[in-house]
Amino acid sequence: MSLSDEEILARFKEKDGQNYAFNLLVRKYQQKLYWVIRRLVIDHDDSNDLIQNVWVKVWQNLDSFKAESQLYTWLYRISANEALTFLNKKKKRFLLKLDDVESELSQKVEHDPGMTGDEMVMKLQKAIISLPEKQRLVFQMRYYDEMPYEQMSQVLKTSVGALKASYHHAAKKIEVYLTGPD
C-alpha cells in the first residue's frame, strides 16, 4: 500500500507514527534523491554520505514543513543544496579551481563502474560536468527528472524565465561539447 505525501505527513504528526511515516518517506524517495545527488557529485560513496545527511536534515525539520510547496520539491531542494554545498567545500578545502573539480569529476565518470554506458553517454556526462553549477542543476532537473519549470522555480527560488534561459544555455553548451572534437 502506497500512501500519498499528505497521508505520510499526517502520520508523521501523530506521536506514535513518526518513525513509521519517516520510513515510508525514505522508501518512497530514497532512490530519486540519491540520483539527484549522484548526478551532481558523481561519486557513489560521496552520494551515500550526502543522502544520509539529507535524511538527518529531513528528520530534524519535517515537523516544521509548512506544505507551501510539494513535499518532493522540498526534499529535492535539500538534496541539491547538500550536494552543491559539498562541491563548494571540496573546492575550498583543496583550494581547487573550478576546472580542477570538473577534471576530477570527469575522471570519476570514466572510472566509476556505476556510470556505465557507451561512449556518447560518457561524453554527455562530461559535457554536463563542464556546465556551471546552476546550469548543471537546471539541466539535470529538466532533462533527467523531467521537472516542470514551475516546480523548478519553487526548488531554486528563481523565475521561470530565468530557468528557461539557463536550460537553453546549458543545452547549447552541451550541444557544442558533443559535436566538438574529442
SS3 14: coil
Boundaries of domain holding 74: 1-94
The whole-angstrom separation of Cα 36 and Cα 170 is 17
Share of the chain above pLDDT 90, in %: 56
The candidate with the shortest Cα–Cα distance to 112, out of 47, 62, 175, 177, is: 47
The answer to whether the CB of 141 falls within 8 A of the CB of 147 is yes
pLDDT at 28 > cutoff 90: yes
One domain, residues 89 and 122? no
One domain, residues 156 and 88? no
- Tell me the pLDDT tens digit for each residue of 80-101: 999 989 988 877 766 555 455 5
The pLDDT confidence band at residue 150, using thresholds 50, 70 and 90, is very high
One domain, residues 42 and 84? yes
Torsion, Cα of 35, 38, 39, 42 (10° steps): -160
Q: Residue ranges of the alpha helices (H) in the chain?
A: 5-13, 18-41, 44-61, 71-93, 98-111, 119-129, 133-139, 149-156, 160-179
Instruction: Kindly state the average pLDDT of the residues 62-66.
Output: 90
Q: How far is CA 122 from CA 107, 142, 154, in A?
A: 10, 19, 31
Q: What is the pTM of this model?
A: 0.79
Residue at 111 is within a domain: no
Q: Residue 40 belongs to a domain with what CATH number?
A: 1.10.1740.10
What cell was used for 24?
A: 515510508
- Tell me the pLDDT tens digit for each residue of 96-127: 554 555 555 556 555 555 545 567 777 888 88
